[in-house]
């Protein structure tokens, strides 16, 4: 690429969604896609349309609604997959079909049970078929990093001749290492005569923790598109993390020969929070770039150094990735004006009704908690602007618990303007509450995951609970926040129950 631009291909909605338990409904996919467009990604892989009617609809909705990025749909090298991918992405102003077919000996022998000749024929035929529908066609030789180089070169040369405009080299099982992966890219440039007619892309998984290093080694050696996900979500150990790739390129132009991306890095933190909230996958505190400790200096020597001169211990500015410094912003006496101004500064655009509701919650919180920080505001506002209709709404709860008594919960929910009440015992107070809620909603949800974290520090901090529930083969996540962790747990469970009702 002439100007050193690296194309950021985001696959959070496809490979990221393949993370165990991270499934997203159409509304959630659309919300993330909107934010990815604001973030400035070049390509959004919105899903795998043939995989389910829901995914087909999600890709179609994203293609219809999002303008700016290319919208891509994944397909196996099969005509019905390619048809589904095209029928979903064709509504985009910039549609792309992404066809994949495994080329490694292991996959050809055990998974596909096909010989090299047949694979080559299928790869070419599928790219030609996709090209007959869409100008922008990407081909991935799956498990490329374990494919014999001569065969990989032959496949790549043939699919480019067949019309592929991007050739993506996946390290499907996260097996490669930076020098080896760099050599694969170099090998393509040296041995595939028509390689300049396509964009070389890379797609690395993180099984050995090397996905970002492998992707960056490829960039140094000529890859011009990187496939990645927000927060590094993805199959098994995940994909290369978008925020790490982008900030490495931005922070080290000396190493990446002036390469650049069109990502608005100030949107990284917000995007990360949204993805974490909607997938129910919390971000570890020490996660590079967007983890809550990423810019926290604990040791006295470091703090002293940063106070004297920031660059002693900080290689990036927290503001550059969208972290506002943690401010004590508001308290009990703050008015509506200060509240709305602060929300605007945090990047929230709320309707009048949402602002009123969020302000009421802020007042309740301010009564319980002396100091309100930006993180507290973000948490309550994000709950208020949730796109999932609140069919079940918590009216009241009461628990009795202790080491000498059987934990018992009474829960009252509102559903279609009717108050519904149930009582249940359980192994603990949260279990009792969840059983009482199940009695009301009638959902026999299995709790797959329960996580709790404090939003800020201090004994009066907001607790944020994240749950995953499985019901009839569908996994949904839910979140809730309160200064009372039982209330936060109840809200998270009700949030998940509302998603189940919504999706039904």
- Establish if 23 lies at the interface with ligand KIV (CB under 6 A): no
Nearer of residues 230 and 430 to Zn ion, judged by Cβ: 230
Span interacting with ligand KIV, options 112-120, 165-173, 265-273, 361-369, rule CB under 6 A: 165-173
Q: Round to whole Å and give the CA distance between 401 and 403.
A: 7
Nearest Cα residue to 140 out of 167, 176, 172, 108: 167
In order of 71, 73, 113, 163, 194, the CA distances from 77 in angstroms are 19, 13, 15, 14, 22
- Establish if 138 lies at the interface with Zn ion (CB under 5 A): no
- Residue-wise DSSP of 42-106: SEEEEE-GGG-HHHHHHHHHHHHH--SSEEEEEEESSHHHHHHHHHHHTTSSSEEEEEEEE-SHH
Binding mask 133-152 for ligand KIV (x = CB under 6 A): -------x-x----------
CB atoms within 10 A of CB 386: 18
Rg over alpha carbons for the chain, rounded to the nearest Å, is 25
Shortest reach from residue 495's CB to ligand KIV, in Å: 30
**Crossing angle of the two packed helices 53-65 and 79-89, in degrees rounded to 10:** 40
CA geometry: angle 417, 421, 426, nearest 5 deg = 140
Span interacting with Zn ion, options 9-17, 25-33, 59-67, 401-409, rule CB under 5 A: 9-17
Residues 6 or more apart from 60 whose CB is under 8 A from it? Answer: 49, 87, 88, 89, 91
Shortest reach from residue 241's CB to ligand KIV, in Å: 15
Shortest reach from residue 65's CB to ligand KIV, in Å: 24
How many chain residues interact with ligand KIV (CB under 6 A)? Answer: 10
Nearer of residues 142 and 376 to ligand KIV, judged by Cβ: 142
Strands 43-47 and 7-10: parallel
Of 10, 15, 42, 438, the one binding Zn ion by CB under 5 A? 15
Nearer of residues 94 and 203 to Zn ion, judged by Cβ: 203
Span interacting with ligand KIV, options 62-70, 166-174, 336-344, 376-384, rule CB under 6 A: 166-174
Shortest reach from residue 61's CB to ligand KIV, in Å: 22
- Establish if 10 lies at the interface with ligand KIV (CB under 6 A): no
Of 60, 146, 203, 468, the one binding ligand KIV by CB under 6 A? 203
Nearer of residues 15 and 374 to Zn ion, judged by Cβ: 15
Shortest reach from residue 15's CB to Zn ion, in Å: 4
- Establish if 170 lies at the interface with ligand KIV (CB under 6 A): yes
DSSP code of residue 40: T
Q: Round to whole Å and give the CA distance between 186 and 245.
A: 20
CB atoms within 10 A of CB 480: 23
| Residue 140's binding partner out of Zn ion, ligand KIV, none, with CB under 5 to 8 Å set by partner kind | ligand KIV
Binding mask 93-122 for ligand KIV (x = CB under 6 A): -------x----------------------
Nearer of residues 171 and 243 to ligand KIV, judged by Cβ: 171
Q: Round to whole Å and give the CA distance between 97 and 212.
A: 25
**For residues 398-457, which are near Zn ion according to CB under 5 A?**
none
Nearer of residues 15 and 17 to Zn ion, judged by Cβ: 15
| Residue 158's binding partner out of Zn ion, ligand KIV, none, with CB under 5 to 8 Å set by partner kind | none
Q: Round to whole Å and give the CA distance between 281 and 21.
A: 8
| Residue 100's binding partner out of ligand KIV, Zn ion, none, with CB under 5 to 8 Å set by partner kind | ligand KIV
CB atoms within 10 A of CB 26: 17
Nearer of residues 25 and 168 to ligand KIV, judged by Cβ: 168
Shortest reach from residue 202's CB to ligand KIV, in Å: 10
- Residue-wise DSSP of 373-404: EHHHHHHHHHHHT-SS--SEEEEEEEEE--SS
Reduce the DSSP state of residue 229 to 3 states and report it: strand
Kindly list the residues in this chain that would bind ligand KIV in the complex (CB under 6 A). Answer: 15, 74, 100, 140, 142, 168, 170, 172, 203, 205
């Amino acid at each position: 690429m002439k100007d050193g631009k690296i194309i950021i291909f985001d696959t959070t909605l496809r490979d990221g969604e393949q993370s165990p338990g991270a499934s997203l409904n159409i509304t959630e996919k659309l919300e993330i896609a909107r934010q990815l467009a604001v973030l400035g990604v070049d390509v959004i892989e919105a899903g795998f349309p043939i995989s389910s009617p829901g995914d087909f609809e999600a890709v179609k909705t994203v293609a219809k609604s999002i303008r700016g990025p290319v919208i891509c749909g994944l397909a196996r090298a099969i005509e019905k997959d390619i048809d589904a991918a095209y029928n979903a992405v064709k509504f985009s102003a910039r549609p792309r079909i992404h066809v994949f077919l495994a080329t490694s000996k292991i996959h050809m022998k055990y998974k596909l049970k096909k010989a090299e000749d047949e694979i080559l024929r299928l790869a070419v035929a599928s790219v030609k078929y996709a090209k007959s529908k869409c100008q922008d066609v990407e081909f991935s030789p799956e498990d490329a990093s374990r494919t014999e180089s001569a065969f990989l070169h032959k496949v790549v040369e043939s699919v480019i001749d067949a019309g592929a405009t991007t050739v993506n080299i996946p390290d499907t099982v996260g097996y490669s290492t930076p020098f080896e992966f760099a050599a694969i890219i170099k090998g393509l440039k040296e041995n595939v005569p028509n390689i300049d007619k396509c964009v070389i892309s890379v797609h690395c998984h993180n099984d050995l923790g090397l996905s970002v290093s492998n992707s960056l080694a490829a960039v140094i050696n000529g890859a011009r598109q990187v496939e990645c996900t927000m927060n590094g979500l993805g199959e098994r150990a995940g994909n290369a993390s978008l925020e790490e790739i982008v900030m490495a390129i931005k922070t080290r132009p000396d190493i990446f020969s002036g390469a650049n991306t069109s990502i608005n890095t100030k949107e990284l933190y917000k995007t990360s929070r949204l993805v974490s909230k909607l997938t129910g996958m919390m971000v570890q505190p020490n996660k590079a770039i967007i983890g809550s400790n990423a810019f926290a200096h604990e040791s006295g020597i470091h703090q002293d150094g940063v106070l004297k001169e920031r660059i002693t211990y900080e290689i990036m500015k927290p503001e550059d990735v969208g972290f506002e410094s943690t401010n004590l912003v508001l308290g009990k006496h703050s008015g509506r004006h200060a509240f709305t101004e602060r929300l605007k500064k945090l990047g929230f655009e709320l309707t009048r009704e949402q602002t009123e509701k969020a302000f009421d919650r802020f007042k309740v919180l301010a009564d319980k908690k002396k100091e309100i920080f930006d993180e507290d505001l973000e948490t309550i506002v994000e709950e208020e602007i949730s796109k999932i209709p609140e069919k079940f709404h918590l009216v009241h709860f009461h628990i009795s618990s202790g080491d000498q008594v059987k934990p018992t919960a009474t829960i009252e929910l509102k559903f279609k303007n009717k108050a519904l009440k149930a009582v249940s015992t359980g192994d603990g107070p949260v279990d009792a509450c969840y059983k009482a809620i199940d009695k009301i909603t009638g959902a026999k949800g299995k709790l797959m995951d329960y996580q709790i974290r404090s939003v800020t520090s201090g004994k009066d901090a907001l607790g944020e609970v994240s749950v995953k529930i499985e019901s009839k083969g569908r996994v949904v996540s839910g979140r809730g926040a309160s200064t009372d962790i039982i209330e936060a747990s109840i809200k998270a469970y009700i949030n998940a129950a509302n998603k189940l009702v919504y999706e039904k």
